Structure 1
Amino acid sequence: MPNRRQFIQQIGAASALGLGAKAGLGLASTHSDKAFHQVPKQFPRTRLRVDGKWPSDLVGNLYRNSPAMLERNGFQHSHLFDGDGMIQRFTLEGGQVFHQAQMVATHKYLAEEDAGRFLYRGLGSSPPNPRPSRNNDTANPANISVRKMGNKLFALWEAGSAYEIDPDTLATYGRVDWNDDLKHLPFSAHPLRDENGDWWNIGSWIYGGQARTIIYQLDAKANLKRVKAIPMQQAGYMHAFALSPRFVILVNTANIYRAGENYFDSFHYDSKGKSEIVLVDKNDLSVFKTIDIPANFVFHFGNAFELGDELCFSMAEYKNADIMNQGLGLGPQSAFAKDATQYNSELNLYRINLKSGQWRKEHSQLSLEFPNIKESQAFSAQAIIGMGRPVAPGAKADQDYLLSYHPLTGEQEHYDFGENITIEEPLYVRGGNDQEYVLHTLADRDKQQTGLALFKAGELAAGPVATAWANEQFPFGFHGCFVGA
């Protein structure tokens, strides 16, 4: 493993994110103000109202990460990625559901609490008179995901370090340095577990003309085993990755970084350019193959599996990168606004012949985002669950469904909650009697309440087995994990 000086030389100067100012936008009309930026510092433990029969064998905690605080001292951030992280915990026990939440005590959050105002530039918007960032963690809000690796719970961003969280109290232990040589380097919000219990993750370094992808391998207890910085042919945006038995699968998108006014304004989508599929061999972390594909944009992936000499993996693929700037802003062009179909992705299956490098793409005609799979069968072909809508011509496309889709067989099912319900990321979970369920949070926009819905896996069309509702609406969240008791 290289020392810090050698490693930093590999990736270029370790300067902070170059972020500038951007005018604020209005709040999306589909959520209450509180759902985005007017939140308390914590939500005490409360019991939710249960409708139906919540299975007593399903015991554990659903953790969610939410960009919660977007307003201080009269200034409102205009992009979801700029909200300070809040960890929410839904506890399932004895057929009841309880909720509590706590802000992540990052360096940024504590400094701004003390000052009584926002101090640092965000990725999509900036407060008045911002202070300079010394490194990638100065303005790290730890707001994208929460993940249990080993016996530790981590709040994750994508452009800086992880923060460790107490799984019971939700208190913040502090920033995590995988070793002294890797301080402040990007560690994405989407680590993936290998068959042997190891964890893999990436960090995208696109600054100073030295585009690199940092590959991390951790052991089952979340201790660093290996790290390597791999040169990229272009400085494309990468949010997540896929993992197969043999490869770390990177998709280096055609959304190209060139230093600009702020982070998101620095990316320019090259519709006439290319994206790249980069296959990194897990054995020696060398690049096995780089495959050029037409320009695309992607945040999230389904699973990857290998059929003989064929590598298959799914991605929620966009035709451009509008979702990153306009779609995740909090204005009238937001993806959360009604009929925002211009931000549709399509869940597509890529099939690559590992010998020849030839590839083909199979379309699902489904806009499916926040894809998730049964992690116990991660490297097998299986149904992918998510939230989305049909994208075929003439299909109803004015609201999101809870969706399940099998990329090889084409089998699909869905459940429609109605136009006033916003669905959040669904997860496969398993009860004590090995019954598999689908669990997710949702929001009733009319009543301004947050709820939890539970389905039997493979029976989505039958509707939820049970729901649980709070008397108020909690902040909108991106990603989470379920930890069984």
Structure 2
Amino acid sequence: MFTRRQTIGLLGGGGATLALGTCAAETAAQSAAAPLADDRRWLAKLGEGLRQEYDYAPDVEGRLPDGLAGTLYRNGPGLFERDGAKKRNLLDGDGMIRATSFESGRVRFRTRFVRTRKYLAEEEAGAFRYPTWTTPAPGFLDNIPCIPSRSQAGITPVVKDGVLYAFDEVGGPYGLDPATLETRREIDPYEGAADSGPANYKAHTKTDGATGRWVLVGQRGRVSPELHIMVKDRAGRQERHVAQPNPRGAAYFHDFFWAEPYVVFYLQPALLSPLPMLAGFRPFAESLDWRPDEGGLLFVVDTTGARPPLTVEVPAVWMWHALNAYTAGDTIVADFVGYDAPDHFLGPNAALHAIMQGREGTAEAPGTLRRLTIDLTGRRARLETVAAGRYEFPVVPPARAGRKHRYGYVASLDSGQGWFHDGLARIDTATGAIAAFHFGPGHYVSEPVFVPDPAGAASTAAEDRGWLLAEVLDGASGTSALAVFDAAGLKAGPIAKVRLSHHLPMSFHGWWQAA
């Protein structure tokens, strides 16, 4: 990795000219996308930050389930603009925790920005100062190299041992007080020498539904990173730490599979072209090249060390999120949402870019539920489609994580092209049967979070016994609500809605903490 001084010396003054020209060309390409139609302008609210932090008791429509007691934490970007500068992509922005607490039929809703070092420095300056995943800093020299160096803590919330963790993919997670939402500090979960563990943690972790083990992965190095895996027991003690060279170098991945004792990385052919990024004229996301002809690569790591790591070639698929994985003899079954191409994310007219300028964008390749069946002895894998449709944000009931599952729950788009989902679906992975509810055009629906019904905690027969909680943005009113569904009766629609007095911007992931 080059230092900033080394990179400036290497590139000389010509880099600045090239940087300015490239940024202008990208802006022109983005502006070529058609403006959002009148009945779709409300979608821009997903990229509109909140100007204040909230704490109030919202109205409830319908009847909340008696057993629904605890707090739903969600995380996502809550601030997209400072001093006239705006983030380029819907997936980029300073992290904002939103907490919806349920107790005896009463509801309390709160939001709080994660006070990261980046957030505090830019709050004091009144302007963006650091490059992020999709957006350069305003000053050219601040973009050499154009690599995120400070966490936005805006992707995933996880509660462990009385700490609410807010994850990004830079550095370590930030710890917050789960009761007050006050930010404590950046935390390194690794129990070892600072220079022997991961420098940057991935946003996703896994909690084993049977053992309670907490599995985290991370990387050390940007251009050719080393992969790190940590396994902590239910009490938070580190049991295992495995470090392996990434067999694909700088291939980008966001999530991973856990099937005790294995971690499976799907190293998709999204490969980093580092020189434009080091030069300071392209941010990280725009330095990724999608090369489907090079195929995908599975990297299977036994965290106990009982068998050596295994690599298996598979077809090229873009994956944001795993549904679940489990072992069946000497086979690993891994379900996920996959795309034939990431056209909704990569490219100047990608939907997640264009919406930030109030324009339509490309999202032709659908996210479908797919399955990898990995034969560890035969060193081969089969890829198949479990359910066609347009899906994202897959989840299983927490008790099934790392164990055989039947049902997967996803955000779903009813019909047509696009990426912005308007409903939820339950997919039977054994039969392919789909039960769904869609709010219809004019709505955006976030990731569902499965909340187990405590009355059915002792039963393993009905894995769908519980509720689904999902944020819904209503385009007509410009406000959001939290919809509550009976997981087994999803097709009947929400049984209750927690109606907010304002909109909520895009959020990614949630965590349910029972009372």
TM over 0.5: yes
In the TM superposition, residue 251 of structure 1 has moved relative to its aligned partner by 0.2
In structure 2, how many angstroms separate the alpha carbons of the residues matched to 1:309 and 1:117?
54
Aligned partner of 2:398 among 325, 350, 375: 375
In the TM superposition, residue 285 of structure 1 has moved relative to its aligned partner by 7.9
In structure 1, runs of 5+ residues without a counterpart are 1-11
- Correspondence for 1:203: 218
Is 2:446 the partner of 1:424? yes
Q: How does 1:202-241 map to 2 (within 5 A)?
A: 202-205=217-220, 207-208=222-223, 210-234=224-248, 235-241=250-256
Cα distance per residue 1:415-444 (max 9 Å; x no partner)? 011111100010110234235111111110
The alignment partner of 2:211 has SS state of coil
- Correspondence for 2:466: 436
In structure 1, how many angstroms separate the alpha carbons of the residues matched to 2:447 and 2:439?
14
Cα distance per residue 1:87-133 (max 9 Å; x no partner)? 00011122232211011000100000111110011211123215368
The AA in structure 1 aligned to 2:213 is D
Change (3 A) 1:134 1:265: closer
Aligned partner of 2:301 among 280, 286, 295: 280
Instruction: Please identify, of 175-184 and 289-298, the stretch whose mean Cα deviation from structure 2 is larger.
Output: 175-184
The alignment partner of 1:197 has SS state of coil
Change (3 A) 1:442 1:15: farther
Q: 1:236, 1:253 within 8 Å by CA — same for their partners in 2?
A: yes
Q: How does 1:61-210 map to 2 (within 5 A)?
A: 61-129=71-139, 131=142, 138-178=149-189, 179=191, 181=194, 185-194=199-208, 195-205=210-220, 207-208=222-223, 210=224
Q: 1:14, 1:135 within 8 Å by CA — same for their partners in 2?
A: no
Aligned partner of 2:330 among 309, 331, 336: 309
Cα distance per residue 1:25-74 (max 9 Å; x no partner)? 6897544666424422422x112221111113211111011211110011
In structure 1, how many angstroms separate the alpha carbons of the residues matched to 2:155 and 2:217?
15
Q: 1:382, 1:407 within 8 Å by CA — same for their partners in 2?
A: yes
Change (3 A) 1:83 1:368: same
Change (3 A) 1:14 1:429: farther
In structure 2, how many angstroms separate the alpha carbons of the residues matched to 1:349 and 1:14?
41
In the TM superposition, residue 333 of structure 1 has moved relative to its aligned partner by 8.8
In the TM superposition, residue 151 of structure 1 has moved relative to its aligned partner by 2.5
The AA in structure 2 aligned to 1:162 is P
In structure 1, how many angstroms separate the alpha carbons of the residues matched to 2:466 and 2:75?
23
Count residues with an aligned counterpart: 466
- Correspondence for 1:7: none
In structure 1, how many angstroms separate the alpha carbons of the residues matched to 2:187 and 2:148?
11
- Correspondence for 1:297: 318
The AA in structure 2 aligned to 1:193 is T
Q: CA RMSD in A?
A: 2.9
- Correspondence for 1:267: 288
In structure 2, how many angstroms separate the alpha carbons of the residues matched to 1:295 and 1:204?
22
The alignment partner of 2:352 has SS state of coil
In structure 2, how many angstroms separate the alpha carbons of the residues matched to 1:450 and 1:264?
29
The alignment partner of 1:380 has SS state of coil
In the TM superposition, residue 330 of structure 1 has moved relative to its aligned partner by 4.0
Change (3 A) 1:60 1:14: farther
Is 2:406 the partner of 1:385? no
In structure 2, runs of 5+ residues without a counterpart are 8-18, 277-281, 457-464
In structure 2, how many angstroms separate the alpha carbons of the residues matched to 1:136 and 1:217?
28
In the TM superposition, residue 246 of structure 1 has moved relative to its aligned partner by 2.8
Instruction: Please identify, of 324-333 and 210-219, the stretch whose mean Cα deviation from structure 2 is larger.
Output: 324-333
The AA in structure 1 aligned to 2:318 is F
Cα distance per residue 1:190-243 (max 9 Å; x no partner)? 1001232221121245634x3322212223244444333211221211101011
The alignment partner of 1:82 has SS state of coil
In the TM superposition, residue 353 of structure 1 has moved relative to its aligned partner by 2.0
In structure 2, how many angstroms separate the alpha carbons of the residues matched to 1:431 and 1:337?
42
- Correspondence for 1:46: 56
In structure 2, how many angstroms separate the alpha carbons of the residues matched to 1:136 and 1:432?
44
In structure 1, how many angstroms separate the alpha carbons of the residues matched to 2:168 and 2:308?
26
The AA in structure 1 aligned to 2:398 is E
The AA in structure 1 aligned to 2:314 is I
- Correspondence for 1:404: 426
Instruction: Please identify, of 317-326 and 178-187, the stretch whose mean Cα deviation from structure 2 is larger.
Output: 178-187
Q: 1:77, 1:127 within 8 Å by CA — same for their partners in 2?
A: no
In structure 2, how many angstroms separate the alpha carbons of the residues matched to 1:112 and 1:184?
26
Instruction: Please identify, of 420-429 and 125-134, the stretch whose mean Cα deviation from structure 2 is larger.
Output: 125-134
Change (3 A) 1:14 1:153: farther
Q: 2:425, 2:436 within 8 Å by CA — same for their partners in 1?
A: yes
The alignment partner of 1:433 has SS state of helix
The AA in structure 2 aligned to 1:253 is Q
In structure 2, how many angstroms separate the alpha carbons of the residues matched to 1:265 and 1:72?
22
- Correspondence for 2:460: none
- Correspondence for 1:473: 503
Change (3 A) 1:380 1:447: same
- Correspondence for 1:362: 384
- Correspondence for 1:9: none
The alignment partner of 1:419 has SS state of coil
Cα distance per residue 1:298-333 (max 9 Å; x no partner)? 110111122223221112111123233354634259
The AA in structure 1 aligned to 2:230 is Y
Q: 1:345, 1:369 within 8 Å by CA — same for their partners in 2?
A: yes
In structure 1, how many angstroms separate the alpha carbons of the residues matched to 2:173 and 2:147?
11
The AA in structure 2 aligned to 1:241 is F
Is 2:373 the partner of 1:351? yes
Change (3 A) 1:67 1:332: closer
Identity of aligned residues (%): 24
The AA in structure 1 aligned to 2:383 is K
- Correspondence for 2:14: none
Change (3 A) 1:192 1:328: farther
The alignment partner of 1:329 has SS state of helix
